[in-house]
């Protein structure tokens, strides 16, 4: 059973009218995104993915979108989204597809109303990626070369241990965010790769540079008098790198800010978890 038929049967109302081609895909994608944001999606800039477009195309073909939902679930896991948030996003799609023709009103996503085949495909994709990540425990992202959030947490544990010995904390985080909602597909990966290159050029003295999500990077640095100037150089260099490609230029200017570390490692781990999602 395809998602259109499932939505109509489960919700007891006619499925939304399908427009053909790119117009229909854009309309569905827009309504889905709006519903997901309203339901509580944490970071709007992280929602657009190539797999979202694949799911929209499959739905418009009246095909069973199981394979596309599996890939979307995996992509959400790769991006750091939890299972609950991933399934609520799926429920937003299901609610939108089940709307009457021409509807523009607010929908109410309900995970319990989503057909089991859709839930299973999405959850399996999410779970397979999480299992693979747990088994490999790679220390860096193979696309950008940035360290993982897990490695940054390890470094923070060491920093807090050092602070207990010396009696003072002299580290903080430099955070850099791009707006990936302004581009699509591989342009998002290119944008983060260019940002990673800029970060490595500016912070080239052994600092830990990590990815906290699809659009956010962090650098663990020691406080010094040159840091403000270094951050200014990072803004300029990032702008130059992004400007070389018109497809990634809209993701800038990069938002750069300094984040003081909290009093304990446990609080720092919570901070990273919040920043990452």
String of b and e for 39-65 (b: at least 16 CB within 10 Å)?
bebebebbbbbebbbbbbbbbbeeebb
Report yes or no on 31 lying in a domain: yes
Report yes or no on 144 lying in a domain: no
The yes-or-no verdict on residue 137 having pLDDT over 70 is: no
Q: Locate tokens 């995996």: which residue? A: 74
Report yes or no on 248 lying in a domain: yes
Domain end among 69, 104, 136: 136
- Classify the phi-psi angles of 172: left when phi > 0, otherwise alpha if psi is within -120 to 50, otherwise beta: beta
Number of structural domains (the chain) is: 2
Return the bridge partners of 222, or none: 171
Question: Are residues 24 and 72 both part of a single domain?
Answer: yes
Q: Locate tokens 């990815």: which residue? A: 211
| pLDDT of res. 134 | 60
Containing domain of residue 164, as a range? 149-276
Least confident of 64-73, 109-118, 167-176, 268-277: 268-277
Task: For residue 184, give the 3-state DSSP assignment.
Answer: coil
Question: Are residues 271 and 180 both part of a single domain?
Answer: yes
Q: How far apart are CA 173 and CA 22, in angstroms?
A: 42
Question: Are residues 175 and 230 both part of a single domain?
Answer: yes
CATH number of the domain encompassing residue 160: 3.30.70.270
Query: Phi/psi at 204 (nearest 5 deg)?
Result: -115, 25
**pLDDT class for 146, splitting at 50, 70, 90?**
confident
Question: Are residues 76 and 119 both part of a single domain?
Answer: yes
Question: Are residues 26 and 113 both part of a single domain?
Answer: yes
**pLDDT class for 189, splitting at 50, 70, 90?**
confident
Domain end among 75, 105, 136: 136
Distances (CA, A) of 267 to 107, 108, 167, 175, 271: 36, 34, 18, 17, 6
Question: Are residues 10 and 127 both part of a single domain?
Answer: yes
**Percent of the chain predicted with pLDDT > 90:** 44
Residues 125/77, Cβ–Cβ less than 8 Å: yes
- Classify the phi-psi angles of 185: left when phi > 0, otherwise alpha if psi is within -120 to 50, otherwise beta: left
Question: Are residues 155 and 248 both part of a single domain?
Answer: yes
Question: Are residues 131 and 203 both part of a single domain?
Answer: no
Residues 275/175, Cβ–Cβ less than 8 Å: yes
Domain end among 136, 165, 195: 136
Question: Are residues 114 and 214 both part of a single domain?
Answer: no
Average pLDDT score over residue span 17-41: 81
Report yes or no on 127 lying in a domain: yes
Report yes or no on 46 lying in a domain: yes
Distances (CA, A) of 256 to 46, 174, 176, 178, 268: 17, 7, 5, 9, 19
Question: Are residues 113 and 211 both part of a single domain?
Answer: no
Report yes or no on 49 lying in a domain: yes
Count of Cβ atoms closer than 10 Å to residue 12 Cβ: 8
Single out the residue of 32, 81, 80, 87 nearest to residue 54, CA to CA. 32
The yes-or-no verdict on residue 186 having pLDDT over 60 is: yes
**pLDDT class for 140, splitting at 50, 70, 90?**
low
| pLDDT of res. 277 | 59
- The burial class, CB within 10 Å (0-12 / 13-18 / 19+), for 94 is buried
Report yes or no on 142 lying in a domain: no
Question: Are residues 255 and 212 both part of a single domain?
Answer: yes
Report yes or no on 143 lying in a domain: no
Q: How far apart are CA 185 and CA 183, in angstroms?
A: 7
Question: Are residues 185 and 121 both part of a single domain?
Answer: no
């Amino acid at each position: 059973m395809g998602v259109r038929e499932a939505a109509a049967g489960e919700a007891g109302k006619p499925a939304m009218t399908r427009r053909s081609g790119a117009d229909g895909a854009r309309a569905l994608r827009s309504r889905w995104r709006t519903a997901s944001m309203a339901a509580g999606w944490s970071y709007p800039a992280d929602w657009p993915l190539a797999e979202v477009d694949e799911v929209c195309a499959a739905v418009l073909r009246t095909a069973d979108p199981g394979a596309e939902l599996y890939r979307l679930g995996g992509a959400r896991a790769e991006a750091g989204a939890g299972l609950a948030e991933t399934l609520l996003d799926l429920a937003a799609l299901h609610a939108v597809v089940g709307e009457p023709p021409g509807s523009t009103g607010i929908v109410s996503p309900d995970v319990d109303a989503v057909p089991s085949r859709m839930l299973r495909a999405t959850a399996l994709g999410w779970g397979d990626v999480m299992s693979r990540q747990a088994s490999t425990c790679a220390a860096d992202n193979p696309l950008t070369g940035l360290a993982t959030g897990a490695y940054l947490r390890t470094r923070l544990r060491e920093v807090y241990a050092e602070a207990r010995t010396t009696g003072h904390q002299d580290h903080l985080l430099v955070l850099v965010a791009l707006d990936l909602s302004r581009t699509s597909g591989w342009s998002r990966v290119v944008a983060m790769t260019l940002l990673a290159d800029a970060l490595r050029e500016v912070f080239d003295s052994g600092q830990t540079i990590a990815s906290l999500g699809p659009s956010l990077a962090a650098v663990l640095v020691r406080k010094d008098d040159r840091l403000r100037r270094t951050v200014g150089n990072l803004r300029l260099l990032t702008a130059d790198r992004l400007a070389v490609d018109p497809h990634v230029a809209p993701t800038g200017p990069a938002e750069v800010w300094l984040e003081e570390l909290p009093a304990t490692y446990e609080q720092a781990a919570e901070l990273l978890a919040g920043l990452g999602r």
